[in-house]
Amino acid sequence: MEDKIIAYQGIQGAYSHLAYKNVFPDSLAIACETFQDAMNLVENGKAHIAMIPIENSTAGRVEEIYRLIPKMKLHILDEHFEQVKHCLLALKDTKIEDIKYVSSHPQALAQCHIKLSSYNFEPIAKFDTAGAAQELLELNDKQHAAVASSLAAELYDLEILVDDFGDFKGNTTRFLILSKENIIPIYKKNESYITSLVFTVRNIPSALYKALGGFATNGVNLIKLESYSMTGSMDASQFHVDIDGHTDEKHLQIALDELKFFANEVKVLGVYKRNPYRDQMKASQNN
């Protein structure tokens, strides 16, 4: 991956910056203002891969991404789980009692909601965590703080007032690795895979029940099912499904054939290896 260019949302010190460095440490990267910008760079051939957060163990799904993915011309190559440790950052020599306002990305603010409320801080939404940290230097006001990474504190010479400001331990963000190329791994029986797709249902009674019934009757496990209204409609819903399996498996092929009979616009977003972190999570929950 040394010769690949990675696009991510945020600036240096953002959690997406940390995530891409952990997965592709020797690659070049382009920081983008929005998720859409990062995806567009890949679609336009100016970057090879976009690394985009899609959900968090504390704050849930990143709503914007679920709406962008069906419209894109990109494919999911892989997934990555990044543990997130939020820090409360401020200007040098600031004290907790000086602070009135705390800025960060809405997802980060949501992941620190309990702590923010306990201090009676007023949250202010920004485009990204590191950008909120950088802005503290411009504001030069000790009433303002930011929720961001320890790397952001180092890059922008800020004070870490609280080292672990998140509401829950083990806070983790799932990233999708997106590419213009649709690279499907060769199926191996001893490997585990995920197939992700989106679809809408036909306007018939019990359409969703019938569309999903094929997965149950064919013994296919659904890992995730997300629904959201389509743009410009109050009654048409789109569904995002993560499926435990590979499209080369016969029982999944039969289930997908049944889905296509009852659904409209079935689009497979990608087939990729199941990240080992999922099994670690499952094991820790069972202990």
Which sequence positions are flagged as catalytic? 173, 175
> How far is residue 76's CA from residue 54's CA, in Å, rounded to a whole number?
12
**What is each CA distance from 38 to 29, 49, 56, in whole angstroms?**
10, 9, 19
Look up residue 109 and give its two tokens: 């603010």
Look up residue 209 and give its two tokens: 């029940």
Strand partners, 287: none
CB 115 within 8 A of CB 165: yes
Look up residue 94 and give its two tokens: 């600031």
Q: How many CB atoms lie within 10 A of CB 122?
A: 11
Name the H helices within 52-125: 63-68, 106-111, 113-119
